[in-house]
Amino acid sequence: MIGWERAQPPPCVALPLAKRGASLPAAPSRTDTCWPLITMDTLQRVFKGTFVHSTRSCAMEVLEHHILGVGTSGKILFLESDQEQENLLQKWGFEESKIEELSQNEFFMPGMIDTHIHAPQYAFVGSGMDKPLLQWLEFTTFPTEETFSNLDIAENVYRGVVQRTLMNGTTTACYFATIHTDSSLILADIAHQYGQRAFIGKVCMDSNETYPKYIESSEESIFETERFIEAMENKKYNRVKPIITPRFAISCSEKLLNELGDLADKFQLHIQSHISESVDEIAEVMRLFPGYNSYTEVYDRNKLLTSKTVMAHGCHLTDEELSIFRRKGAAISHCPNSNISLCSGHLDVQNVLKQKVKLGLGTDVAGGYSVSMLDAIRKAIETSKIIFMEKQKRKQENKTLDQNEIAQNGIASDLNSVNDTDHDYKVLSNQEAFRLATLGGSEALNIDHITGNFEVNKEFDALLISTAPEIRAHENLFEIPTEDAVQRFLFLGDDRNIKAVYVAGRCVVPFPRND
Ligand SMILES: Nc1nc2[nH]cnc2c(=O)[nH]1
Ligand SMILES: [Zn+2]
C-alpha cells in the first residue's frame, strides 16, 4: 500500500510527543519487538516571532510572540507563547543562542497547496488564452503534451515548473503529467530532488476524437499506470506519491474508468480528474455516457469518487451532485483563474462550503495563466465578488419587475422572487481564501493529518514572509497590524516576499547551491 495513510493505531509507538524531551526513556532491549519502530524526535530548530495559520475553527489565527520547535523528523514539536521559552528550552535541552528570531517585518505562514496543476502545460503558460476549453485542448494542449514522449523536453519543463512553484510558495502540488510513463517518473524524481511534496499523475486517456494522435489503448493505459505505480513504489519517495489520473470522462471509455477505479482501490491510491468545468464539456459527457444521469454519476458508478478524490473545477455541479461528493468525502479543486481564462464558468464557493464538500484551490496551469497560489487566492475572492454582484443585479431586476406587477395587478406574483440564500450571499473573505490555499488544500488532498497548518505533530511546511519596505518600496507595510500586513501580502505580494520555503522542516528555497 502506498500513499500518505492516516495513521492506524500502531502496534508499538514512541512516547507521546508531549512527554518527549530532555529526559529520554531508556532504550528498549534489542529483543524488544518495539525496537525498530521507536524513533526519538530531537529538537532541531526553534523559530520565534509571528505565525499565521488556519484552524478548523478560525480561518486566520495570528500568533504574535510565539515560539515554534521543529524536530529532526520535520514535525512541529511545539508552538507556544514565547513566555514559555525558558520552560521549553529546558525541557528540550536547547540553547537560547540557537533560536532563530524573525524580524518585525516577517511572519511564518503554512506552505500553500496547489490541488490542481498540469506540469507539462508550464511549457506554454500565458499563451493560448483566446479559446474555450475544448478548442484549447485540441489546438494548444494536446499537441504540446504529445511532445513529452521526449524525455529531454520533459526534464526541462518539469525542472522549471517545480522550481517556479516552490519559489512561489507551493509546498505541495497535485500534478497532472502526460500519458507518458517515463517522463511522468522524471517529474516525480525532480519534485523529490527539490523537496516538494507532490502527487504525480500519469494521465490516462483512451479516447480522443478531436486529436487522435495523443491517445493510448485502454489496455496500455492500465498496464502503464501499474508500471508507473510500481516504479514509484520502488523509489520509496517519502513525500512524492502516485495518483490515479483519468484525464476527464470525455477522454476515457467506461472500461478504462472502471479499471482505474479498481486500481485505485487495489493500491489504496488518491484519484484526480476534471468535472463539470464547462457547459459544452458536460453536454459531450452526457452524449458519450447516455446511461448515466449526471457527470458525477459517471465517476461515482466507476468507483472514482472516494475520500481520496480531488476533482478540478465543478463549476456547474448541481446541489444533488454536490451531495454525492459530500457523502463520498470527495473534494473539489477550485481553479478560478482557469475558469475565467477559458470562459468555463464560476464556481460558487460559498455554496460548496455550505454543502460541506471539501475544497481547495488550484492554479490549473496552463488553463490558468499563473503558477502562483497567491493569484488563486485573489481570483477566488474576485470570482466570489462577481457572483455577489450578479445576485445583487438579479435582486434589483426582480424588485423592478415586482413593482411593475404591483402597478399593473395590485399584487406581485412570486415568480420573480429571489432565493433566500441569494439575499444572504457573503463574499469570500480574505481569511477564508487563505484557509482554502493552506488547510483547505490539505483537507482536499486528504493529507490534513500531515500538513496544512502549524498544529503540533504535523510536518513543518512553511513560508517565511517578509513585508519589509525595501522589498516593495511603494507600499508602506511597515508597522501596521499583522492582520493588515497579511492581507496586503495576499493581494500585493509575490515571490520576492517569500524569503524561505520549508517542507517537513527542510529549507528548500533558496535552492541549495551545487558548488
Ligand atoms: N483546464 C483543463 N481542463 C481539462 N479537461 C481535460 N483536460 C484538461 C486540461 O488539461 N485542462
Ligand atoms: Zn486541469
How high is the ipTM of this complex? 0.99
- What spacing in Å lies between the alpha carbon of 502 and ligand 2's midpoint? 26
Residue 19 has pLDDT above 50, yes or no: no
- Predicted pLDDT of residue 8: 52
- What spacing in Å lies between the alpha carbon of 229 and ligand 2's midpoint? 21
- What spacing in Å lies between the alpha carbon of 274 and ligand 1's midpoint? 7
Residue 193 has pLDDT above 80, yes or no: yes
Q: Which ligand has the nearest atom to the CA of 117? A: 2
Q: Quote the CA–CA distance of 128 and 125 in Å, as a whole number.
A: 8
**Which three cell numbers, joined as nine digits, stand for 470?**
525595501
Within 270-316, where are the H helices? 279-288, 295-300
Q: Which ligand has the nearest atom to the CA of 280? A: 1
In sequence order, which residues have a C-beta less than 8 Å from that of residue 11 and are 6 or more positions away?
37
Strands 240-246 and 112-118, by their bridges, are: unpaired
- Predicted pLDDT of residue 7: 55
Within 243-278, where are the H helices? 254-267
Band the pLDDT of 29: cuts 50, 70, 90: very low
Q: Quote the CA–CA distance of 334 and 336 in Å, as a whole number.
A: 6
Measured CA angle at 111 (ends 276, 486), to 5 deg = 95
- Predicted pLDDT of residue 260: 98
CA of 248, closest atom in ligand 1? 6
Residue 65 has pLDDT above 50, yes or no: yes
Bridge partners of 178, per DSSP, are none
- What spacing in Å lies between the alpha carbon of 274 and ligand 2's midpoint? 6
Q: Quote the CA–CA distance of 200 and 184 in Å, as a whole number.
A: 7
Name the residue at shortest CA distance from atom 4 of ligand 1: 274
Span 467-483, average pLDDT: 68
- Predicted pLDDT of residue 461: 99
Whole-number mean pLDDT of the chain? 91
- Predicted pLDDT of residue 16: 30
**Containing H/E element for 164?**
helix 151-167
pTM above 0.95, yes or no: no
- Which of 84-98, 108-122, 476-490 has the least mean pLDDT? 476-490
Cα–Cα nearest to 300, from 270, 320, 328, 267: 328
118, 121, 137, 313: residue to mutate for ligand 1 pocket, most atoms within 8 A of CB: 137
Span 112-137, average pLDDT: 97
**CATH superfamily of the 112-380 domain:** Metal-dependent hydrolases (3.20.20.140)
Residue 341 has pLDDT above 90, yes or no: yes
pLDDT digit string, tens, across residues 376-412: 999 999 999 999 999 998 888 888 887 888 888 887 7
- What spacing in Å lies between the alpha carbon of 367 and ligand 2's midpoint? 7
- Which of 11-15, 40-44, 58-62, 273-277 has the least mean pLDDT? 11-15
**Which three cell numbers, joined as nine digits, stand for 358?**
471539501
- What spacing in Å lies between the alpha carbon of 137 and ligand 1's midpoint? 7
Q: Among residues of the chain, what percentage have pLDDT more than 90?
A: 81
3-class secondary structure, 321: helix
> Residue 416 carries which DSSP code?
G
The domains of the chain are located at: 1-23+33-110+452-515, 112-380, 384-424
- Predicted pLDDT of residue 30: 33
Residue 80 has pLDDT above 80, yes or no: yes
CA of 141, closest atom in ligand 1? 10
Span 137-159, average pLDDT: 98
Ligand 1 binding pocket, CB closer than 6 Å: 118, 133, 137, 141, 247-248, 274, 277, 338, 364, 367
Residue 513 has pLDDT above 90, yes or no: no
pLDDT digit string, tens, across residues 280-303: 999 999 999 999 999 999 999 999
Cα–Cα nearest to 149, from 214, 53, 73, 89: 214
* CATH level 2 (architecture), domain 1-23+33-110+452-515: Roll (2.30)
- Which of 32-41, 170-179, 418-427 has the least mean pLDDT? 32-41
Name the residue at shortest CA distance from atom 11 of ligand 1: 367
Measured CA angle at 271 (ends 290, 462), to 5 deg = 145
3-class secondary structure, 316: coil
- Predicted pLDDT of residue 403: 81
Angle between helices 181-194 and 218-235 (to 10 degrees): 30
Q: Quote the CA–CA distance of 323 and 25 in Å, as a whole number.
A: 49
Which amino acid is located at 158 in the chain?
A: Y
Q: Quote the CA–CA distance of 278 and 134 in Å, as a whole number.
A: 9
Q: Which ligand has the nearest atom to the CA of 276? A: 1
Question: Which residue has better confidence, 27 or 512?
Answer: 512
